[in-house]
Structure 1
Amino acid sequence: MVRHLALIRDKIVAVEGSPQTALDRLYHWAAQGNVKACYDFFRTKGTNPCWTKIIWHRALMPKHSFVLWLSLKEKLLTRDKISEQIEDTSCVLCGSEMDHQKARGTGVQAIAKRIGIACTVYCIWKHRNTRIFEGKITHPSSIIRDIKIQVYRSLHGFFPNFKEL
């Protein structure tokens, strides 16, 4: 921890030029209670990934966006990630590996693709958890029906006056 604090000290001194101006900066942040400015100063700044606009689109349900975000960050606990704890690493729903898709553009079809991908990931994740933790087996046609219903509801909610859905 002391090493980490020394790195923080060295960073602020390097940017400010001297230990005294670094202390002045810290006192200024503390006096104003400006945690955001302090955080912005020390955090590593990077570019947003290309998929952020796809998953955080306002047409998507938050729970779909969240699970899709976890999936893209490779943080969902999939069978390959917990393979040390289980023997069978195949998909519990279909026995094979899932394909990946990309959605681009801004039109109705592109938004429908985004919603479709998010709903698909969410529903597969939900039914997989139901099978693992509750022992309930859902037929693939029911999963597809669930995906279609959620896609339709999302599209209808986002485009309430669009007649050709």
Structure 2
Amino acid sequence: MAAKKQKSGMISHGIAAQNRKGRFNYTIIETIEAGIVLKGPEVKSLRLGRATIAEAYAGERDGEIFLYNSYIPEYQGGVLSRFDTRAPRKLLLHKKQVNHLLGAVARAGVSLVPLDIHFNSRGVAKVTLGVGQGRKKEDKRHAIAERDWQRDKARLLRSKGKEY
């Protein structure tokens, strides 16, 4: 889905921030979409696509799941309200989903990795959480070799006149 830009250059739909290393460093078992509690200037800053979630992770606090270490810069559009750019942000999930995720983390030793922050078709900010197990170094090397082979194979087929 292509991001639609409004007149002011803001993203109304589509991905606002992406964790590209998330799928490389972890084997994602399942994904869950969660809402995120944000203040007004944070949403405006997200719509500009300036957030970073490369070092972010999700964890439990007081029986709820929070997004830690995500960076949403302050909005420079004349708004006077200040906010902490790396504050923990509450994720909105059903109680059943929270129990499922916390059970998986405790039982199987998996991690909750934020894969992206996006705006759905209604313009609401959502976080895609991946339940993943960390990859070992040799698994990462195998993934790199597989990706390179797919790229080379597509290049060879293209040069032969076949579309892949």
TM-score range, shorter chain: under 0.3
Report the TM-score, using the length of structure 2 for normalisation. 0.24
Structure with the greater relative contact order (CA < 8 A, sep ≥ 6): 1 or 2? Answer: 2
Q: Which has the higher helix share?
A: 1
Report the TM-score, using the length of structure 1 for normalisation. 0.24
Greater C-alpha Rg: 1
